[in-house]
Structure 1
Amino acid sequence: MSIYESVESSDSRRHLQLKSPVSLEPIGELVCANSEDVAVAIAKARAAQPAWAATSMKERAAIVQRALQLVLERQDEIIDTVVRETGKARTDAMSMEVFSVADSLCYYAKNAEKFLKPRKRKIHGILGIAKQLRILYKPLGVVGLITPWNGPFVLVMNQAVQAVLAGNTVVAKGSEVTPFSAKLAETLLLDAGLPEGVLQVLLGDGETGAAIVEGGVDKISFTGSVATGRKVAEACARQLIPCTLELGGNDAMIVCADADIDRAVDGAWLGSCMNTGHYCCGTERIYVVDSIYDEFLAKVLEKGKQLRQGTEHGWEEDVGAVFWDRQMSIIEAHVEDARAKGATIHMGGRRNPDLPGLYYEPTVVTEVDNSMDIMRLETFGPILCIQRVASEEEALALANDSEFGLNGNVWTQDKEKGYQLASAIDTGSCSVNDMAVSYGVPAAPFGGRKQSGVGQVNGKKGLRGYCHEMPIVIDRFGGKMQNAYPYSAESAEGMRKLMHFMWIKTPLGRWLS
């Protein structure tokens, strides 16, 4: 059974029938934008961009503030739409798709002007006496934004708002699995006063996304798989345009001997199963020091007995449905590979037999190692993979033995030790005594190492990443140019003497630096 299936149509566009992962019943038809639709959208964005870039930051921020109020007023509509398409637990939908969006909108509306304000920079050395340097943040133009199905509303809103606050226009595409959640971002921002053409969210599949990448935009921001991200990077390199790529992870959790075990157990379950395990910085590998391993595992299993699945639980559902049948196949394959190679399945390890949709039971696996797909690849499901280690040093070595490096977390009551361990993990970001909260902190730049991506989003750096940082050097005093033509032996000797005076005879050059 597929969450979407092709259906016959009378036009040139691809039509897909969407189904609910909860009930497997039809929930709507998706008409995919074709290459001509993409071209029209990019042309519209290109035409709208100069006028939008000419608006003041105060005007742009006011629209984002209104969008914040609409998110809060329409939160039930957002949650209902997201849950209908994904099957995620309602509390996950509220925290990821409403709270984090509201927090992000508030942060960028308040700080964008400060982050992007033209600024003066001191020029070092003797040149600083005669010249003045200003840094200007100019919008890139039209940004292409491609987002996945696991955070269908938040990932469009967060990146689109940063791009438009920087003065760009945006042509975005959400996943074909969750198109209507992504479209809500455009609807809401238009209702908040964003002019037509500044943000367009197209409905479509991979072919639609490829058309955006090849459509002549000025930057691509992509979140998705390593395989597709590599194709995006190659296309951007060929066109000589920048891109940011967030490509998933296989994040490690290190539980030290002095950890607060109850808190770490809560962190293990939430880090592994929040959003049904469908988030890129979710916990996929748990390394527990031998001296507390047995107690930790016992408490994990006891906690797991309390978890609830199924929409009949309403707001008390803990772990929702798997969003996409293709992801269900990956989860099942990874668990079966681990089982075949000697892993122990303590609980779960199967589809929930009591529910009709794409539900996979919360699962605890031990006796795992790096010969198993579940420890090497991104499983993206509600699975706790727990490995006993002799020491924190062994845990750190295993944490770094991965082709991914997006996030991680360390659990210890010694905060300085936690900081040192976190800093030693070869990953884009890390948390101490919490599951991966980095993306939820707007001030924190977010991005991966190794195959987890290229570049960073969010924070001051992310916002400036939607700009060209343009230096303008201004002469202070005027008059005759130094070293103007014609050159002469006399002027060359004068420069030789100046260098000797500044950096050999006196410390003047160092003082001016």
Structure 2
Amino acid sequence: MNASTGSVFDETRFSADRLGSLGGATGSTDERLRVRTPITDEEIGTVASFQPDDVERAVERVRERQPAWEAMGIQTRAEIVDRFGDLVSNRRAQLLDLVQLETGKTRQHALEEVLDIVLTASYYGAAGPKLFGDERRRGAIPGASDAVVTYDPVGVVGVIAPWNYPLTLSMTDAIPALLAGNAVVCKPDERTPYTALAVASLLEEAGVPDGLVRVVTGDGSTVGPSLIDAVDYVAFTGGTETGRTVAERAGRNLIGCSLELGGKNPLLVLDDADVEVAARGAVKGAFTNAGQLCLAPERVYVHEDRYEAFLDAFVGETRALTLGCSFEYGPDVGSLIDGAHAERVGTSVDEARDSGASVLTGGRRRRDVGPFVYEPTIVTDVDADCPLASEETFGPVVSVSPVSSVDEAVDRANDSAYGLNASVWTGNVERGREIARQIDCGTVCINDPYTVGWAAVDAPMGGVGDSGLGRRHGPEGFDRFVESRTIATARYGPLEPPASLSNRTAARLLAVLTGVQRRIVRWRS
């Protein structure tokens, strides 16, 4: 794996004044949060360090502005959401710079974030009016009653976003929440606040009223609980253990929550797969964003008839990758987020090696490329009790194991507490779909590691088990942010038998009416 050179800093791109303009509102103290770039491990600026009272006031202020936003109507809100997507596309160069500066990812991987926001905004901008209208439902007694379901926004939605995809994951939940008529308060990770601040300013430029969206920056353990206590719904993306804490607090407050958490995602290479194609897909899946992707495959199971050929192709493709910290298109793999995470990834590989695993390529930290760069790493013969076998690594590390049958591959894929994403590689798509139904994951991709699932924004995405609760994308991703109301009408007064009937006769009449209604339901279905 070679290092790719390129310019790291360009003062016209990253002036102190430019970052300072994104610094956000001040909190109740003068304390500031220092932000560093993983590219050089240098400080790039400071942002406000919000305290609990600051968060509460921020929520109160956006709550005051929410009714006017709701009153603008779904069509107007949809037009603003669509316009926001256009602005993100038009400002992509600046956004790419900012995402790279905060995360250290390559420009190509940063581009995926920008394109994702454009796609999501376009989808909800077009689908919004269809998702929000009143719905007529079957009444208790046809002809004598009816029922209509109406929808209202929940109020204020809190979005808690992680550092690995700071643009996508600060906005992919905020977009449908805003479309539904809610106000939004976003808590970005303390390592990546500037991206959230920048994109929030684009929302206002698109037409979202001033003050309806607020970014609260600061330490997660301070800001997070205060935000959950103040909002009406929380959308969280992050680690599983933190997700449990979020769900517990939301439950105590009797508010809804959606949680997209970790994964130990399996990739299955069947006996009829094209190993060259599967190897390219495994490289893309495992090493995009230096493996810091919740959807990335970390466990590869290959049919024994394809095992050696796949390994040769996979190792060859991986060794050809270039490493680099550049703001130009070029390097294939960028940096990990910080030193602590680089140490965790390295320790995971070292423990596997010490327990008998073979490192076929990679396995080294590359300080010559960047302070937190780690080589894309392929490991075999991993002991089942080794943490690398079952715990999320969240880095450019993947294990490969042979299996003797499809049943064994499925069993091993399902032998995990996680269930976020999986992929199946086969020459027979129908066979792949049949196998996909047997895998305990919220999303299963055929002949692609994750992109076709994530980019299908009309389809729900989320996990099962320790990978989370709820779904984003599609109508399901919108429905999280509304409360339904049923308005039922009796056309001729209360639904009760005439007072002139005896109780016995009334009971017989109700039984007859129930039978008629059942036949009507069956006929209509």
TM-score bin (small chain): over 0.9
Match of 2:335 in 1: 321
Post-superposition shift, 1:353?
Answer: 4.2
Match of 1:5 in 2: none
Segment of structure 1 superposing worse, 173-182 or 198-207 = 198-207
User: In structure 1, how many angstroms separate the alpha carbons of the residues matched to 2:27 and 2:182?
Assistant: 36
User: In structure 1, how many angstroms separate the alpha carbons of the residues matched to 2:155 and 2:27?
Assistant: 36
User: In structure 1, how many angstroms separate the alpha carbons of the residues matched to 2:174 and 2:165?
Assistant: 14
Corresponding residue to 1:338 among 352, 355, 375: 352
One-letter code aligned to 1:24: D
Give the TM-score taking structure 2 as reference length.
0.91
Query: What is the correspondence of 1:412-451 to structure 2 with a 5 Å cutoff?
Result: 412-437=426-451, 438-451=453-466
Query: What is the correspondence of 1:183-332 to structure 2 with a 5 Å cutoff?
Result: 183-206=197-220, 207-215=222-230, 217-312=231-326, 314-332=328-346
Match of 1:490 in 2: 502
Match of 2:122 in 1: 106
Post-superposition shift, 1:87?
Answer: 0.4
Corresponding residue to 1:175 among 172, 189, 192: 189
Match of 2:409 in 1: 395
Post-superposition shift, 1:482?
Answer: 3.7
Match of 2:180 in 1: 166
Segment of structure 1 superposing worse, 456-465 or 400-409 = 456-465
Match of 1:351 in 2: 365
User: In structure 1, how many angstroms separate the alpha carbons of the residues matched to 2:236 and 2:131?
Assistant: 23
How much is the aligned-residue C-alpha RMSD, in angstroms?
2.2
Percent identity, please: 36
Distance 1:500 1:149, change over 3 A: same
The one-character-per-residue Cα deviations of 1:444-498 (angstroms, maximum 9, x if unpaired) are 11111001001111110110110012221123x33x434279x787044322244
- Aligned to 2:301, the other structure's residue is in SS state strand
Corresponding residue to 2:78 among 61, 64, 67: 61
Corresponding residue to 1:19 among 36, 43, 46: 36
- Aligned to 2:308, the other structure's residue is in SS state helix
User: In structure 1, how many angstroms separate the alpha carbons of the residues matched to 2:504 and 2:30?
Assistant: 69
1:460 equivalent to 2:472? Answer no
User: In structure 2, how many angstroms separate the alpha carbons of the residues matched to 1:445 and 1:499?
Assistant: 41
Post-superposition shift, 1:346?
Answer: 1.0
8 Å contact from structure 2 (residues 28, 54) kept in 1: no
Match of 1:6 in 2: none
Aligned length in residues: 498
One-letter code aligned to 2:411: A
Give the TM-score taking structure 1 as reference length.
0.93
User: In structure 1, how many angstroms separate the alpha carbons of the residues matched to 2:506 and 2:407?
Assistant: 59
One-letter code aligned to 2:506: G
Post-superposition shift, 1:312?
Answer: 4.9
- Aligned to 1:28, the other structure's residue is in SS state strand
User: In structure 2, how many angstroms separate the alpha carbons of the residues matched to 1:278 and 1:16?
Assistant: 23
1:119 equivalent to 2:135? Answer yes
User: In structure 1, how many angstroms separate the alpha carbons of the residues matched to 2:512 and 2:149?
Assistant: 31
User: In structure 1, how many angstroms separate the alpha carbons of the residues matched to 2:522 and 2:289?
Assistant: 55
Distance 1:313 1:151, change over 3 A: closer
User: In structure 2, how many angstroms separate the alpha carbons of the residues matched to 1:183 and 1:494?
Assistant: 65
Segment of structure 1 superposing worse, 145-154 or 304-313 = 304-313
Post-superposition shift, 1:332?
Answer: 1.3
8 Å contact from structure 1 (residues 172, 201) kept in 2: yes
- Aligned to 2:173, the other structure's residue is in SS state helix
Gaps of 5+ in 1: 1-8
Post-superposition shift, 1:314?
Answer: 2.9
- Aligned to 2:328, the other structure's residue is in SS state helix
Match of 1:481 in 2: 494
User: In structure 2, how many angstroms separate the alpha carbons of the residues matched to 1:16 and 1:167?
Assistant: 31
Post-superposition shift, 1:256?
Answer: 0.2
Gaps of 5+ in 2: 1-25
Segment of structure 1 superposing worse, 413-422 or 320-329 = 320-329
Post-superposition shift, 1:502?
Answer: 5.4
Corresponding residue to 1:408 among 398, 414, 422: 422
User: In structure 2, how many angstroms separate the alpha carbons of the residues matched to 1:349 and 1:149?
Assistant: 24
Post-superposition shift, 1:500?
Answer: 4.8
8 Å contact from structure 1 (residues 166, 467) kept in 2: yes
Post-superposition shift, 1:313?
Answer: 8.3
The one-character-per-residue Cα deviations of 1:170-201 (angstroms, maximum 9, x if unpaired) are 11111001010111221110111110222111
One-letter code aligned to 1:446: M
Post-superposition shift, 1:13?
Answer: 5.3
8 Å contact from structure 1 (residues 277, 381) kept in 2: yes
Match of 2:511 in 1: 499
User: In structure 2, how many angstroms separate the alpha carbons of the residues matched to 1:317 and 1:463?
Assistant: 37
Post-superposition shift, 1:254?
Answer: 0.4
8 Å contact from structure 1 (residues 352, 360) kept in 2: yes
8 Å contact from structure 1 (residues 344, 365) kept in 2: yes
8 Å contact from structure 1 (residues 502, 508) kept in 2: no
Segment of structure 1 superposing worse, 403-412 or 487-496 = 487-496
User: In structure 2, how many angstroms separate the alpha carbons of the residues matched to 1:112 and 1:61?
Assistant: 6
Segment of structure 1 superposing worse, 425-434 or 320-329 = 320-329
Post-superposition shift, 1:24?
Answer: 1.4
1:134 equivalent to 2:134? Answer no
Corresponding residue to 1:47 among 64, 76, 86: 64
User: In structure 1, how many angstroms separate the alpha carbons of the residues matched to 2:118 and 2:522?
Assistant: 48
Match of 2:20 in 1: none
Q: Which runs of 4+ in 1 moved over 4 A?
A: 506-513
Distance 1:508 1:335, change over 3 A: closer
Corresponding residue to 2:54 among 13, 16, 37: 37
User: In structure 1, how many angstroms separate the alpha carbons of the residues matched to 2:115 and 2:514?
Assistant: 57
8 Å contact from structure 2 (residues 302, 401) kept in 1: yes
Distance 1:121 1:507, change over 3 A: closer
8 Å contact from structure 1 (residues 376, 402) kept in 2: yes
Post-superposition shift, 1:350?
Answer: 1.3
- Aligned to 1:227, the other structure's residue is in SS state helix
The one-character-per-residue Cα deviations of 1:325-375 (angstroms, maximum 9, x if unpaired) are 232122112111211111100111110142232100111111124312112
Segment of structure 1 superposing worse, 333-342 or 348-357 = 348-357
Distance 1:87 1:494, change over 3 A: same
Corresponding residue to 2:98 among 77, 81, 88: 81
8 Å contact from structure 2 (residues 74, 132) kept in 1: no
